[in-house]
Amino acid sequence: MKSIALGALVLFCAFSMLEAATDKVVCYFGSWATYRTGNGKFDVEDINPNLCTHIIYSFVGLDATTNTVKSLDTWNDVSLKSLQRFIALKSKNPSVKLMLAIGGWNEGSTSYSNMAASSSSRKTFIDSVVNFLQTNGFDGFDIDWEYPTQRGGSAQDRTNFVTLLSELRTRFSSLGYLLSIAVGASKDLLSTAYNVPEINKYVDFVNLMTYDFHSFWDGKTGHNAPLYAASWEGSSSIFNIDASVRGWLDGGLTSSKLVLGVPAYAQTYTLASSGSNGVGASVSAGGSAGPYSQQAGFLTYLEVCEILKTGYTKVWDDVQKVPYAYLGSQWISYDDVTSIGLKVAYAKSKNLGGVMVWSIESEDDKNVCGGGAYPILGAINTAIKGGSSGTGTTTAPAVTTAAPAVTTTKAATVTTTASSSGTLTCKNGYAKDPASCQYFYQCDNG
């Protein structure tokens, strides 16, 4: 009887793992990158659709007068046929899901708040969404309303947003369209902007924007996408991935619907004093603009990997599980294949639905830096499939300056805060805890 029960437990464990597989790789595509120059220019044809399960074209907008979907760049979208060329990616990977995103930071919140406030304007909007998807051949729709109840929105947005999602789901169900949303990472938005249990009923997945936790607006250096709270912040800090994920799961979202966002870009800073260059150092402004993105305080991953070759000191923060780098007055908070591998392992440990990248055009798609094309997406795919990316270990990269405590052991290391038990035979890569479906290890026996 005991052996039968054990067998049933093993079967249930395997079934649970299958049901909760972390298998989505959601890639946002910023279509404006076609206007970048040199190595930074990125067109639809530069997308490798075999590295993503879902690719989301960003962005279209909302016409505040008619409450209908509108192109934000008719020259690129229509005249240059970017939308049509995007859908043609199906010829390279018929199984990839091609979706359309509306909104984004620049769109604001007011027009979305007004549209969602009445049944007639919601119907007009939904009709236009369906027409746009059908006309262009998309597989689904992503709403990036930043954010309900915020930035000119109203207190009723939290309720109206759910109503909008409910009505979209009803319309989409008969048409087979996917419905996703992109949501702010800050845990305090759960009580103001998002009714998680209700959202859970209607969306296929939620793209959690777990980045931009810190920027030069803070007046001090901080990590763009820390995995855990800093020791000096304490466990109550909400400005990290772990707090955000736990907030959504505790709030009532099914874990398989939560997709963890990771950045393929950096937040950058200009230090107030080049002699003070750690986390929390005072800053005077955003970092210098990069040659392709040309935006102070921001660098694409491609710009980061090029710039790091010019003499930057790289430091690994083993508490928050991310790197940073500095040279003179410039300070960069970025992600590399090591920190990305740890984030994927974390997503697996929480049985999340997958990982989302903002955004694919920021990658080193042409192998300019010599680490292989698409290093971030490569690390994600390798980690999701259970292998080792070669550098995706819990061991820190070589450190050339004083840094937080760095793990240098080559033993199997738990990548989740939960406890586990059992004997583990650990090889390079990712391994499941022998005693539990919920825990994963990342191993480097090199």
Locate the DSSP E strands across 210-342. Answer: 258-263, 265-271, 283-286, 298-300, 313-317, 322-327, 330-333
Look up residue 115 and give its amino acid: M
Q: Angle of helix 337-349 relative to helix 241-251, nearest 10 degrees?
A: 20
Q: 400-403 contacts: CB < 8 A, separation 24 or more?
A: 400/313, 400/314, 400/315, 401/313, 401/315, 403/315, 403/316, 403/317, 403/318
Interstrand relation of 178-184 and 440-443 (parallel, antiparallel or unpaired): unpaired
Tokens of 418: 């939960």
Tokens of 444: 């480097």
Q: Can you tell me the distance from the alpha carbon of 337 to that of 293, in angstroms, rounded to the nearest whole number?
A: 21
* Catalytic pick among 19, 45, 107, 146: 146
Q: Can you tell me the distance from the alpha carbon of 444 to that of 160, in angstroms, rounded to the nearest whole number?
A: 49
Looking up tokens 């928050």 gives: 320
Q: Can you tell me the distance from the alpha carbon of 66 to that of 61, in angstroms, rounded to the nearest whole number?
A: 12
The CA-CA-CA angle for residues 398, 404, 409, to 5°, reads 55
Q: Can you tell me the distance from the alpha carbon of 241 to that of 214, in angstroms, rounded to the nearest whole number?
A: 12
Q: Which residues pair with 332 in a beta bridge?
A: 268, 325
Asked if 430 and 441 count as a contact pair (C-beta separation under 8 A), the reply is yes
Measured in degrees and rounded to the nearest 5, phi and psi for residue 141 equal -140, 140
**Is 107 one of the annotated active-site residues of the chain?**
no
Q: Can you tell me the distance from the alpha carbon of 435 to that of 433, in angstroms, rounded to the nearest whole number?
A: 5
Q: Can you tell me the distance from the alpha carbon of 446 to that of 255, in angstroms, rounded to the nearest whole number?
A: 33
Q: Can you tell me the distance from the alpha carbon of 74 to that of 80, in angstroms, rounded to the nearest whole number?
A: 8
Which has the closest alpha carbon to 354: 250, 248, 258? 258
HSE, side-chain direction, 13 A CA sphere, residue 185: 25
Could you tell me where the DSSP H helices lie in 20-144? 74, 82-87, 110-116, 119-136
Tokens of 46: 């530069």
Catalytic residue numbers read 146
